[in-house]
Amino acid sequence: MPQTIDLLNKALEIKTASEWARLFNIVPSAITNARRAGRVSPALAGNFAIELGEDAERWMLAAQLESKQEIQLMDRLRAAKPEWRKR
């Protein structure tokens, strides 16, 4: 399964984070944070895909699946440690 970080890295080979941010009308830190997290949001993945001539739906689905996995891990953490937010 393709990972959105691969799409991001491909995009950053073409333009800098600042150039992409100007094109998408977002702050550059959104791209930096995505890179640090190792995944891209579905909206950002779709926009990168369009600009790179890739299948936007495929990349948006990949991003959504990556996001869902993280949510499931957080749910598991909450179930294991119900008092984790009380500290």
For 78-87, write each residue's pLDDT tens digit: 677 666 555 4
**Domains present along the chain, CATH in parentheses:** 4-80 (1.10.260)
Helix (H) or strand (E) holding 22: helix 17-24
Side-chain half-sphere of 80: how many Cα atoms within 13 Å? 6
**Those residues with Cβ within 8 angstroms of residue 7's Cβ, 6 or more apart along the chain or in another chain:** 40, 45, 48, 49, 52, 54, 59
- Beta-carbon contacts of residue 14 (< 8 Å; ≥ 6 apart): 52
Residues 76 and 82: beta-carbon distance below 8 Å: no
> Tens digit of pLDDT for each residue in 22-74?
999 999 999 999 999 999 999 999 999 999 999 999 999 999 888 877 777 66
